[in-house]
Amino acid sequence: MPGKPGSYQYYDENGTIIYVGKAKNLKNRVSSYFHTEVDRFKTKVLVSKIHDISYTVVNTEEDALLLENSLIKKYNPRYNVLLKDGKTYPSICVTNEPFPRIFKTRNINKSWGTFYGPYSNLNSMYAVLELIKKLCRPRTCRIPMTEDGVRHNKYDVCLEYHIKNCEGPCIGRQTADEYRKNIARAREILKGNTRGVLRDMRAEMEKLAEELRFEEAEEIKKKYLLIESFCAKSEVVSHVIDNVDVFSITSDEKTAFINYIHVTAGNINQSFTFEYRKRLNESDQELLSLGIVEMRERFKSTSREIVLPMAIDLPLDGVTLTVPQRGDRKTLLDLSQMNCRQYRFDRLKQAEKLNPEQKSVRLMKEIQDCLKLPKMPYQIECFDNSNISGTDAVAACVVFKKMRPSKRDYRKYNIKTVSGPDDYASMQEVVRRRYTRLLEEGAPLPDLIITDGGRGQMEVVRQVVEDKLRLQIPIAGLAKNDRHRTNELLYGFPPVTVGMKTDSELFRLLTHIQDEVHRFAITFHRDKRSKHALHSELDDIKGIGPKTKETLLKELKSVKQIKSADEKTLSSIVGTAKAKLIYEYFNK
């Protein structure tokens, strides 16, 4: 289950929805129901009745709240109590009268006029209504005002005119054209086209701040932020869209996933994803056509419009097929596609838990496709150097087979032909030794070499592999940014950046290989350094091994005491022959 915002639904053994919820993080919220420490009796009862779970992913927590509200009103689940009162979130109506009014309402009747919303953030909605009131001054009276009535002086002004909240169109103090121009501006604000308004407010804030009127500037800033929030229009609900089916598809070689979303009266009240097994290498268009017919029949849909990601040949009487490029329908299509991809991802994860080999094959296929390799990289090898100013220089090679570490194939190397801190020369020595040995032994060569470094490391490896050994092994590099964090995969000569997201599963695996070779090389270097630190003059005496050295140090405590001991004392500890060697070495 994804860690994204959305709405989740619990089903009982009969397939009936018993609970609808929303979450900022679906994975965390749903898993919390099944923790052993859950102690609320009602929650335990609910969990005991859950036989299946479904969910719909959205982009924001506010969208999740609106979707939850819509689903609760449709299904009236047994265990939902907070939103069963039948109320809806308020919308703003601009009437279609000759002198339009603007007001908030929870009732949607399209014969009244144009509706904007709904909105779950009431504070931001009231802020914009206040802004419209100050900028556009729409009338608030409910009289059925007409231009003819104004000409014949049928109306009188009310208190709103006297307190300057209205410009008096009822008595001709404001012409019908001027009034409608203000209403047009209000419509733009309600649509979210508030750039000009926000720009003016920012200028006013800066002016007040320059005049040291900070309290007034802060009040405008609050309204500014509320209006910005208001302009983040909900992607889940739009009163413009009524009785529409939305379909999307994602597929691979064997399987296709089709998501279906149904929108009624501006609300999403159905979201479902089906999995299809390909049999005859069907195209996405063919599968989508089959899926549309099947799902509309299953859900008894009578929608006269179907929103699709691509054009298909599907003759349905009285039904319009739409492929949107922008607007509310495109937003719904994007939402459907996001749910489709997420469902496919979840199914792959489930399958890989049952068959880990499947995950390895998928990742190998991904990197093959990404780098356009001739075959899947069954064996990947990665190199790294380690030294301190050229001293105790070592290198390491780690081997991954089927995308898993093969530790028995790991190799350590002491640098033999390079003096000083020369990483490039050290890398060339190690790569040459590694693949010369494999060629001599007739052992399998890797399908991909990865260097722990950028273009320079890749080039010196290429010089050895291709120019000297005449081998054709693909070479990639993992490069770091200024903060020493791996941020790009390089491939080809000259090396170019491969378009791979740094948060993708494949990139994380490649950086894990990089971290593993770095760990292996560092550990080997530390061990070598430690041995040098423990080196003593006893190590330079021929015929004196580690056990003799250990025995002497155990008895005499230090090399200094061993140096000052006479031959008789040494003989009593390690015997006459070794005592003579030690005594003569220190008393030449």
Out of 75, 91, 110, pick the residue that ends a domain: 75
What is the DSSP pairing of strand 113-116 with strand 448-451? unpaired
- 412 and 482 in one domain? yes
pLDDT (mean) for 262-280: 74
- The model scores a pTM over 0.85: no
**Which DSSP category does 534 fall into?**
T
pLDDT digits (tens, 9 = 90+) for 346-370: 887 777 777 778 788 888 988 898 8
Type and span of the H or E element at 553: helix 546-556
d(CA 494, CA 211): 59
**Domains contained in the chain, number:** 5
Q: Examine residue 267 and state whether it is found in any structural domain, yes or no.
A: yes
Question: Rounded to an integer, what distance in angstroms lies between the CA atom of residue 417 and that of residue 523?
Answer: 22
Whether 272 contacts 257, CB under 8 Å: no
pLDDT higher at 260 or 358: 260
**How far, in Å, CA of 195 to CA of 448, rounded?**
52
Residue 85: what pLDDT? 45
Hey, what amino acid is at 215? Answer: E
Task: Write down the pLDDT at residue 118.
Answer: 67
Q: Are residues 334 and 203 in the same domain?
A: no
Question: What's the average model confidence in pLDDT over 282-293?
Answer: 83
Q: Is residue 64 part of a domain?
A: yes
What pLDDT, on a 0 to 100 scale, did the predictor assign at position 95? 94
CATH number of domain containing 430: 3.30.420.340
Cα angle vertex 56, ends 233, 82, to 5°?
75
Can you tell me the mean pLDDT for 557-565? Answer: 82
Q: Does residue 451 lie within any of the structural domains? A: yes
The more confident residue out of 195 and 409 is 409
Tell me the C-alpha distance between 374 and 190, whole Å: 56
In this predicted structure, the answer to whether residue 182 has a pLDDT above a threshold of 80 is yes
Is 249 a residue whose pLDDT tops 90? yes
In a domain, 1, yes or no: no
Could you tell me the two tokens for 537? 């003059």
- Residue range(s) defining the domain that contains residue 268: 244-351
For residue 400, is pLDDT > 90? yes
Q: How do residues 21-38 score in pLDDT, each as one tens digit?
A: 888 889 888 888 877 665
Residues 474 and 487: their CA atoms lie apart, in Å, by 20
Give the pLDDT score at 80: 66
Q: What is the pLDDT of residues 232-242, one digit of tens each?
A: 554 455 667 77
Q: Specify burial of residue 273 (Cβ count, 10 A radius: 0-12, 13-18, 19+).
A: buried
Asked which of 370-374, 436-440, 541-545 is least confident by mean pLDDT, the reply is 541-545
CA angle 133, 136, 140 (to 5 degrees): 55
Q: Is 387 exposed, middle or buried (0-12, 13-18, 19+ CB in 10 A)?
A: buried
At 59, the pLDDT band (50, 70, 90 cuts) reads confident
448 vs 121, more confident? 448
Judgement on whether residues 374 and 513 belong to the same structural domain of the protein: yes
Average pLDDT rounded to a whole number, residues 186-207 = 79
Output the domain CATH number for residue 335.
3.30.420
User: What is the predicted pLDDT for the residue at 376?
Assistant: 92
* Cβ(121)–Cβ(101) below 8 Å: no
- pLDDT-derived band at 231 (thresholds 50, 70, 90) equals low
91 touches 69 (CB < 8 A):
no
Q: For residue 477, give every residue at least 6 positions away whose Cβ sits within 8 Å of its Cβ, in sequence order, or none.
A: 450, 451, 453, 454, 455, 457, 458, 489, 490, 491, 495
Paired residues of 10 in beta bridges: 19, 53
Rounded to the nearest 5 percent, the helix, strand and coil shares of the chain are 45, 20, 35
Q: Pick from 168, 198, 230: which residue ends a domain?
A: 230
Do 253 and 204 share a structural domain?
no
Q: Is residue 288 over pLDDT 70? A: yes
Residue 577 lies in a domain: yes
Gap between the Cα atoms of 147 and 99, Å rounded = 8
Q: Is residue 96 included in any domain, yes or no?
A: no
Give the per-residue pLDDT at 353: 75
| Residue 559 confidence (pLDDT) above 90 | no
Other Cβ atoms within 10 Å of 79 Cβ, number: 15
Q: Say if residue 525 is in the same domain as residue 543.
A: no
Between CA 38 and CA 29 the distance in angstroms is: 13
- How high is the pLDDT of residue 532? 57
Last residue of a domain, one of 190, 207, 230: 230
CA distance 577 to 588: 16
Does the structure show a pLDDT above 50 at 388?
A: yes
Domain contains 82: no
Tell me: do 517 and 547 sit in the same domain: no
473 and 505 both lie in a single domain: yes
Mean pLDDT of the chain: 83
Residues above pLDDT 70, as percent of the chain: 89
* 577 and 468 fall within a common domain: no
Q: Which residue, chain included where needed, has tokens 């390079």?
A: 418
Distances (CA, A) of 9 to 46, 51, 77, 477: 12, 11, 9, 45
Report pLDDT for 232. 52
pLDDT for 462: 92
CA distance 533 to 550: 16
Task: Report, as an integer, the average pLDDT of 171-200.
Answer: 82
Check pLDDT > 80 for residue 228: no
Who's near 257: CB < 8 A, 6+ residues apart? 249, 250, 251, 273, 274, 275, 276, 340, 343, 344, 347
- Reported as a single tens digit per residue, the pLDDT across 292-328 is 887 887 777 888 899 999 998 877 788 899 999 988 8
155 and 297: one domain? no
Neighbour-count burial for 494-530, b at 16+ CB within 10 Å, e otherwise: ebeebebeeeeebbebbbebbbbbbebbeebbeebbe
**Residue 453 resides in a domain:** yes
CATH number of the domain residue 553 falls in = 1.10.150
What integer pLDDT is reported at residue 321 of this predicted model? 92
* Residues 219 and 330 reside in one and the same domain: no
Which helix or strand (DSSP H or E) is residue 273 part of?
strand 267-277
Confidence tier at 82 by pLDDT (50, 70, 90): very low
Same domain as 145, residue 22: no
pLDDT at 378: 92
Same structural domain, 184 and 213:
yes
CB–CB of 72/80 below 8 Å?
yes
- 61-84: average pLDDT: 71
> Which of 276-285, 412-421, 528-537, 577-586 has the highest average model confidence (pLDDT)?
577-586
